[in-house]
Amino acid sequence: MSSFYKLGVIGSPIDHSLSPKIHKIFANDLGLQISYDAIEVNENEIESVVTNLFNQEFMGLNVTLPLKEAAYGLADNLSKEAQNCGSVNTLWKEKDTLCADSTDGRGLVKDLESKGIDVGDKNILLLGAGGSAKAVIPSLLKSKPKMLTIANRTPEKAINLANKFTSGECEVNAAAIDARLNSEPSLIINTTSAGTLKQAIELPENLFSDKVFVYDLSYSFQMTPFNKIAKEAGVKNYSDGLGMLIEQAALSFEIWTSHIPSTDIKREDLL
């Protein structure tokens, strides 16, 4: 096994990525030598860039927006999780085979658990039905919640996603994002990028209660726009997605190096 790991992350835009910082902290803690580059890649060039990077002896790549589904199409060997998600965030080579996994969902569940939130038996409301929702649903369902409702601005997308993931073990429903809810969620997960993109955030009118836990996949040094709305509506317990980012990165790091890094990273060391 090489004692120097050449790693990177591809996506667009990529200049704000915290992944280089996170992976360098992991490596320093473990006494490993790595390089980790943030590489701007557009969708139409992903195949040639990924081929070139692995030819340049890169040992692993993270994949971020908007390339996760395109990267899925490149891989020869997909993990079960990746097959369920239809997208990947981690690439590596085994001999000449391009392998891929999606660590986002497991990273989310690990971060929720670290915050004392057990997904099992919860009534979960997932806002959004895009790639981020698809990437976390398999891991959420594996944790056996009582019910998962997918609410989306375009109800058809939510229905399609609910149908894709309907299983005997957990009730999976779809709803319009501005419709009144039939039941009170105990965990709300926001996978939409409306707040980050400065768009209006549409929500069900009876969404928030003081007993619910709110988790926004977005993260920032200030409070995210979504969590701000939740707090103003009386929600006491909320989190952004920085912990998930660190946890999913640790899972990728372990795949590439076989070393398990500590995810105890301070927010101020990153943002």
Share of the chain above pLDDT 70, in %: 96
pLDDT at 195: 59
pLDDT, tens digit, 9 for 90 and up, residues 122-145? 999 999 999 999 999 999 999 999
pLDDT at 245: 97
Report the distance separating Cα 68 and Cα 122, nearest Å: 28
How many angstroms separate the CA atoms of 33 and 256, rounded?
13
What pLDDT sits at residue 96? 93
How many angstroms separate the CA atoms of 13 and 78, rounded?
A: 25
Q: Can you say how many angstroms the Cα of residue 155 is from the centroid of all Cα atoms in its chain? A: 22
Instruction: Classify strands 213-216 and 187-190 as parallel, antiparallel or unpaired.
Output: parallel
Active site residue ranges: 68
CA distance 110 to 89: 17
The per-residue pLDDT for 168 is 67
Residues of the chain short of pLDDT 70, as ranges, are 1-2, 168, 195-199
What confidence score (pLDDT) does residue 202 get? 77
pLDDT of residue 51: 97
What integer pLDDT is reported at residue 126 of this predicted model?
Answer: 97
Alpha carbons within 13 A on the beta-carbon side of 194 = 17
Residue 196's pLDDT is 58
